[in-house]
Amino acid sequence: MRSDRWIDARFGLAAQGVLGRAARNFGAVIAGQAMGTLLGFLALTLNTRALGPEQLGVLFLVQATGEMALAICSFQNWRMVIKFGAAAIAAGDGPGLRAIWRFGFLLDVLTAACAASAVLALFLVAPHWVGLSETTGQLGAFYALTLGLSFSGSSIGMLRLCNRFGVVVWVEVMSAVLLCLNAAVLYWSGAGIESYLLTIPVVTAIGPVLLTLMGWLRMRRVAATLTERPDGADYAPLAMLRFAIGSSGVTTLNAFQNKGEFLIVGSLLGPAAGALFGVAYRFASVFARFAEAGRQSVYPEMGHLIASGHFDTAAHLAARLARLAALIAVPALLLLGLFGREILTLFFGPAYAAALPNMMLISAGMAVGTVTFALEPLIQLRWGAARFFWLNLAAFAAFVGAAVAGPLFFGEAGAGAGRLGFSVLLALLSIRLIYGRRNTRAEAASCDRGSA
């Protein structure tokens, strides 16, 4: 196995500690998200002014259908590439690193093709299922075809694994700038919906294609510095596929959770309570942005540590990150409790001040997820994505129970209990798995040899 010093020197990691690199990458991801959100809001403003409500609705329906199809079909391969790629780098296995990227890229291409085919068939055969007419469905067909170019997941994982977070952020911000410029040109030219449905897919496709090219070039450069070792690890496609499926299962459960509680609240308490919950959820989701940025930032560091046999260091890092996150999440939660009603009134009007209990429940659940954000990559990389999926499935059962019990027993004030129940149970199960008495050194060594 290559030494830690060799790995650090090869990938430019020696200048900073693990925590410092994770903090730098976190800053890059957050800055990219902030820029993307701002530019996206500007593009939305221009599109809203240029298109009437009906045409804007068509654009939203077409985009939402494509995004949903990609979310369902995607395997989140960047996680798989980091897990197995870190092992290949630690073993000095260049051919293995190439094989991992090729397998991930193949999965990306297949899932993108499935999403594109499904959306294309829907738009051409049954557009009314998503609220489109036959004419607008035909206009959305080109957008459906460009979904087939959304195959950058493995390359994003490779860039993050090799400490190139800035490249990913740069491409994402560049794509947002191009979308803004496109919106401005269409706005000033007075173009119709046809131009939007032709130009937006083209601009959107530039990012994934560019990221794929950059990830492939980075993989080639890194693999060229590694030599094949006869005792290198066996990166079996079945093991990589199991990991990708497990990771995808977690993402799917989260998607159901994000939409499911709104539906539960609306069905039990009516549309008015659903509106309060929806406003509270959107405001509290700021915590989720920080948590996801943290996971993306720490995932490669955890991958390198675990692949090089330093699970104890990775577990210590996760605990330290939890303490640092708590220093931010707990005061933020207290401030929301003190001034949340005024904030809701200021942004949404007096009628929505009643959403404070919902906002506090949802925020508390998301704050728990923010504090424990580093546990997810630690479990996935050590015990495998399937193990973490089963933990999420148990927590999802708690989510369903709490999401129903909260409104039934406490009315509108109980809406949001599902998120809190999910986050608390998942955190407890994760902590027990990582730091509990059953996590002996013998079990740790066994997991190192066999996890997938």
- Is it the case that residue 451 has pLDDT exceeding 80? no
Determine what percent of the chain is predicted with pLDDT higher than 90.
35
pLDDT of amino acid 233? 55
Is the pLDDT higher at 126 or at 427? 427
Distance separating alpha carbons of residues 183 and 189, to the nearest angstrom = 10
pLDDT of amino acid 234? 59
Determine the average pLDDT of the residues in 287-297: 84
- pTM metric for this prediction: 0.81
Distance separating alpha carbons of residues 78 and 247, to the nearest angstrom = 10
pLDDT of amino acid 9? 45
pLDDT of amino acid 229? 60
Determine the average pLDDT of the residues in 118-123: 89
Q: What residues contact 240, with CB distance under 8 A and at least 6 apart?
A: 80, 84, 100, 103, 104, 452
Determine the average pLDDT of the residues in 390-406: 94
- Is it the case that residue 71 has pLDDT exceeding 90? no
* Residue 397 confidence class, pLDDT cut points 50, 70, 90: very high
Mean pLDDT of the chain: 84
CA atoms in the 13 A half-sphere facing the CB of 320:
12
**Model pLDDT for residues 196-220, shown as the tens digit of each residue:** 888 999 999 999 999 999 999 999 9
What is the three-class DSSP state of 37? helix
Number of helical (H) and strand (E) elements in the chain, helices listed first: 19, 0
Domains in the chain: boundaries: 4-234, 240-450
pLDDT of amino acid 284? 79
Residue 301 structure tokens: 């560091």
What's the one-letter identity of residue 393? L
Q: What residues contact 117, with CB distance under 8 A and at least 6 apart?
A: none
Determine the average pLDDT of the residues in 337-341: 90
Place of tokens 């977690």: 250
Determine the average pLDDT of the residues in 340-353: 84
Determine the average pLDDT of the residues in 316-322: 90
Distance separating alpha carbons of residues 362 and 358, to the nearest angstrom = 6
CB 29 within 8 A of CB 86: no
Distance separating alpha carbons of residues 138 and 193, to the nearest angstrom = 12
Q: Nearest CA to 444 among 259, 305, 256?
A: 305
Determine what percent of the chain is predicted with pLDDT higher than 70.
91
Alpha carbon dihedral 104, 109, 111, 117, in 10-degree steps, equals 180
Q: What residues contact 102, with CB distance under 8 A and at least 6 apart?
A: none
Determine the average pLDDT of the residues in 25-32: 86
pLDDT of amino acid 445? 46
Residue 199 structure tokens: 């130009």
pLDDT of amino acid 11? 44
Determine the average pLDDT of the residues in 46-51: 82
CB 229 within 8 A of CB 91: yes
| Range with the poorest average pLDDT among 310-314, 359-363, 440-444 | 440-444
